[in-house]
Every structure is written in structure tokens, then in C-alpha cells.
Amino acid sequence: MISVDGLVRTYGDFTAIDNVSFKIGQGEIVGLLGHNGAGKTTIMKMLTGFLEPTDGSITVDGLDINREREAIQRKIGYLPENCPVYPEMTVIDYLNYAAALHGVSETERLSRVREAIAKTELSGKATQLINTLSRGYRQRVGVAQSLLHHPDILILDEPTNGLDPSQVQHMRDLIREVAQHATVILSTHILQEVQAICDRVIIIRAGKKVMDSRMEELRSAHRLLVTVQAEPGKVDAALKEVAVVQSVEQLANDDNRQSYALEFRDQAEPQQCAPAVASALLGQGCALYAMQPEQRTLESIFLETAAQ
């Protein structure tokens, strides 16, 4: 659906985006992460055709953005970070106007506006002036306009800004619903949002892509965490019996129990190695209290990439 190859954007001597490449398939929900100034918004602006790349290529559904920008823009729903709306208009008038700008025909315009209002739970605010709305409701208006033309791609820059917890949950549900027939790219500083709804994460640091992985791959650290009660010599002897164990790190020693993190050769999966480890420990008379694969959080992964 989306292919980005060798993307570069410079401002004089400053390189904001440096040779970034990735592909995003139909129906994926991809989180674009990075610190302030990392280049996330710049990438989004180039994907939507509002900013020209200095170098590299962007193709969307086989269309080249340099030659067929308007055709690509018709496929995209976009919510910029600052949520530009016309504050002097009512919600329904603004959405009707936005639908016209999106090229929705007059015969379909009213039904599309009603649909967007229902999806974003704006029915009670439809006739109010936008300048009387809270920041959270203005954000919903911005999301509603991005949905009016049933886009194939939805690009959201900080979509949960100003939303309360119940509104955040509704936004998650809406993004999942949209992803059933569209590709979603989401940029946010709230890592819990990415963990909750994204299939994949791309992390940008100082204009470079430093990570591109699926969520399940990120969470797996390929280590097995073991808690036992035994003399250290017995633990060492047991683990030496398991040929696939590559390294052992002692994590804690509390209440006569010891915790270890085991790494395995050839990136063997912890679940597959666990029976052999348990059998060896029990064979040496070790009391086994806990055993589970290590799970990393997105926060820890983000901090790791920031330190690189």
C-alpha cells in the first residue's frame, strides 16, 4: 500500500530526515514514535504530499507522489497535530464544507457527515460553534473530517490530545474499526496507545529510522526468567546440563530465592527451552518457584533506542 525508499528532507545544512525507508501494507495499524523533533511530523507531511522530499521516493497504491500527488491525497484522511478547524463555524457546517473539499458529492454529503458525527460521538455538539467546544471535542471534529471521504489511508498526528480516558478508549475502538478497511499510521507520545492498538512500531531518532518491528517481536526478549530456591552450585550444575543455555544472569536474591535470566543459543525460543531447564533444575534438587519468558515494555524499548 505505502512504500517509502531513501526518504530525505533537508533545510539548508540541517537534515531533518535522513535516508528513511519502510513499507506499510493494507490494514496495518502502524505507530510512528520518536522524541520531539525526531522527524515524525515531517515524515507525515511528506506522506500526505504537503511537503516535498529533498530526495527519495514515496509510492501509495502504485502511485508516485511526485507525479500523482492529488490522486494520492484523495486516498488519505489526515489529522495534523494542531487540528486546524474554522472556529466560527458550527460542527455540522464545518464537516459539510470539509466533505465538499474532499470531493464528496452533494447527494452523499449529508449521509457522510451524519456517519462521521456518529462515529466520533459528536451528535450532541453538531449545532454548536467550534470555538465553544473543549479541546477534546475539537479533536473529535478533526478526526471526523478525516473520515468523511472513506479514505484508504488514515494518518493521525497525536489523535488523543485533550481526550479524557473514556474518549481515549472510544478513539482506540474507532481506529480499530477504520483499520478493517484502511491503513492507519498513528503518531503519539503516549506509548500506552501504541501498545493498545498498533500492530507495528517504527521508531525515528534524529531523522533516522532506528527500529521497525511488529509489536509481538518487540515484546519478546528471548530470555527465560527463572526463580528457584537452591544452593548456587546446584543451579550452576543444573544449567550446565542444558546445552542450549548460552548465558546466565543473576537478577535478584531475596528470601533465600534466586532469580536468573537465561539466554539461549541460536535465538532459541524460551518456551521451547523451558521444559529442559525445569527438568535439569528439579533433577539437581532445586525448588522451582517461577518460570516465564521475559516481556519487555514499549517504554523500555523506546529508552533503549534513545540511548543508542
pLDDT digits (tens, 9 = 90+) for 139-157: 999 999 999 999 999 999 9
The domain covering 2-217 belongs, at the CATH homologous superfamily level, to P-loop containing nucleotide triphosphate hydrolases (3.40.50.300)
- Label residue 160 exposed, middle or buried (CB < 10 Å: 0-12, 13-18, 19+): buried
Residues 212 and 32: beta-carbon distance below 8 Å: no
DSSP H helices in 32-127: 40-47, 69-73, 91-101, 106-119
pLDDT digits (tens, 9 = 90+) for 176-232: 989 889 999 999 877 888 888 999 999 999 999 999 999 887 776 688 999 999 988
- As a three-state string, the secondary structure of 159-210 is CCCCCCHHHHHHHHHHHHHHCCCCEEEEECCCHHHHHHHCCEEEEEECCEEE
Class level of CATH domain 221-306: alpha beta
Residue 27 predicted with pLDDT over 80: yes
- Name which of 119, 244, 102 is nearest 178 in CA terms: 119
pTM of the model: 0.80
Residues 143 and 97: beta-carbon distance below 8 Å: no
Could you give phi then psi for residue 211, rounded to 5 degrees? -160, 140
Residues 216, 191, 306, 54: is their CA dihedral positive or negative? positive
The pairs formed by 251-258 with CB atoms below 8 angstroms and a separation of 24 or more are 251/225, 256/229, 257/227, 257/228, 257/229, 257/289, 258/227, 258/228, 258/229, 258/230, 258/232
Alpha carbons 118 and 195: distance in angstroms, whole number: 26
Q: What are the residue boundaries of the structural domains of the chain, listed by start?
A: 2-217, 221-306
CB atoms within 10 A of CB 219: 16
Element (H, E) at 30: strand 29-33
- Name which of 223, 224, 219, 225 is nearest 301 in CA terms: 219
Residue 300 predicted with pLDDT over 90: no
> Which three cell numbers, joined as nine digits, stand for 123?
451528535
pLDDT digits (tens, 9 = 90+) for 92-148: 999 999 999 999 999 999 999 999 999 999 999 999 999 999 988 999 999 999 999
The confidence score (pLDDT) of residue 299 equals 78
**Please, what is the angle between helix 165-178 and helix 135-147, to 10°?**
10
Average pLDDT on 37-41 reads 90
